[in-house]
């Protein structure tokens, strides 16, 4: 009697089908695990920025500006990141970066062509070099529809200003110190995600051919800070657009650095009154979660 030493075609097809089913079942779990790892790294990068800001405050007894952005031609304008480079373990870059001239001056060409990986979130696409995914948000824009909608719902803090402030010729803000954060460091957002620039995204869908108003997203650009302007859905102010708004590529929310240096993931469905309370540094409105 002859013994069979091989699989039949039917048996092979069954095994292949079973393997296919198992791969289909495991793939979402693998993708979720990869995104969890990317989000953790993103959180660590944002944490480095928050710690860099605190080290600057320890050295100067004041927080760095969100940006120096005067309208005077040739004025030495810079992003807030340019002031904390030594505290981001970028002492060599700080030595090559000249703050006595504008960030885009020819003298700074080599410095601004340096890509800072700890300013990039692995979850976000990076089609352009030298961009950042983390920025400061200075206030609710006076003419923005988000502020108007909040007022219509009876949300009216004592101040609409965020943690860090820009310095301009026409609107030079007072120096921000710990005493300026009257709502408490652990109750106030310090730094934010605004990822994917310069590509224009609306709710994670790329707008093909649309002109972008989100600047180029360069880490040294003094116009890299942003204000809260718009909302989507039921007064949702997270992950609507990256047109100078809070925006991430994480499912369901975004990462925030708080004034005490901690990092928190906030749902994009956060109640608007809680959002405003966490955003404002002196609104007299402590967030009730």
180-200 pLDDT, tens digit each = 999 999 999 999 999 998 888
CB 256 within 8 A of CB 250: no
122-153 pLDDT, tens digit each = 999 988 889 999 999 999 999 999 999 999 99
Is there a domain that residue 97 lies in?
yes
Residue 147: which domain range? 30-279
Average confidence (pLDDT) over 263-278: 97
Is there a domain that residue 9 lies in?
no
pLDDT score, position 213: 47
pLDDT(49) > 70: yes
Separation CA 230–CA 56 (nearest Å): 31
Is there a domain that residue 8 lies in?
no
Of the candidate ranges 11-15, 210-214, 255-259, the one whose mean pLDDT is the lowest? 210-214
From 256, 194, 189, 253, select the one nearest 225 (Cα to Cα). Answer: 194
Is there a domain that residue 232 lies in?
yes
Question: 29 phi and psi, to 5 degrees?
Answer: -65, -40
Is there a domain that residue 4 lies in?
no
Between the alpha carbon of residue 129 and those of residues 106, 193, 233, 270, the distances in Å are: 18, 17, 33, 32
Q: How many domains does the chain have?
A: 1
pLDDT(214) > 50: no
What are the structure tokens assigned to 151, written together?
Answer: 């007022």
Is there a domain that residue 235 lies in?
yes
Question: How many angstroms from the chain centroid is the CA of residue 13?
Answer: 49
234/14: higher pLDDT: 234
Is there a domain that residue 194 lies in?
yes
Average confidence (pLDDT) over 246-252: 95
The contacts found for 119-122 with CB under 8 angstroms, 24 or more apart, are 119/45, 119/49, 119/81, 119/219, 120/45, 121/38, 121/41, 121/42, 121/45, 121/46, 121/193, 121/195, 121/248, 121/249, 121/255, 122/38, 122/41, 122/42
Is there a domain that residue 58 lies in?
yes
pLDDT(289) > 90: no
From 280, 282, 283, 278, select the one nearest 266 (Cα to Cα). Answer: 278
Confidence of residue 12 (pLDDT cuts 50, 70, 90): confident
């Amino acid at each position: 009697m002859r013994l069979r030493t091989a699989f039949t075609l039917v048996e092979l097809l069954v095994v292949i089908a079973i393997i296919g089913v198992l791969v289909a079942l495991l793939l979402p779990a693998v993708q979720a695990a990869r995104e969890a790892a990317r989000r953790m790294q993103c959180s660590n990068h944002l944490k480095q920025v928050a710690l860099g800001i605190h080290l600057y405050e320890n050295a100067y007894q004041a927080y760095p500006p969100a940006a120096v952005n005067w309208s005077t031609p040739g004025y030495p304008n810079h992003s807030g990141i340019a002031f904390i480079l030594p505290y981001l373990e970028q002492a060599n870059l700080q030595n090559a970066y000249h703050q006595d001239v504008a960030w885009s001056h020819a003298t700074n060409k080599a410095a601004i062509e340096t890509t800072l990986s700890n300013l990039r979130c692995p979850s976000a696409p990076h089609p352009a070099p030298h961009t950042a995914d983390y920025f400061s948000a200075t206030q609710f824009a006076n003419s923005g529809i988000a502020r108007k909608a909040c007022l219509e719902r009876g949300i009216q803090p004592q101040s609409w200003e965020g943690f860090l402030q820009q310095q301009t010729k026409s609107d030079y803000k007072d120096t921000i110190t710990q005493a300026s954060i009257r709502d408490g460091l652990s109750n106030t957002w310090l730094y934010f995600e605004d990822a994917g620039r310069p590509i224009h995204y609306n709710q994670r869908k790329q707008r093909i051919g649309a002109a972008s108003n989100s600047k180029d997203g360069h880490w040294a650009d003094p116009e890299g800070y942003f204000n809260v302007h718009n909302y989507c859905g039921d007064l949702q102010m997270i992950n609507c657009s990256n047109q100078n708004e809070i925006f991430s590529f994480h499912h369901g929310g975004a990462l925030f650095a708080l004034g005490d240096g901690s990092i928190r993931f906030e749902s994009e469905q956060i109640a608007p009154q809680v959002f405003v309370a966490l955003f404002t540094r002196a609104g007299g409105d402590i967030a009730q979660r």
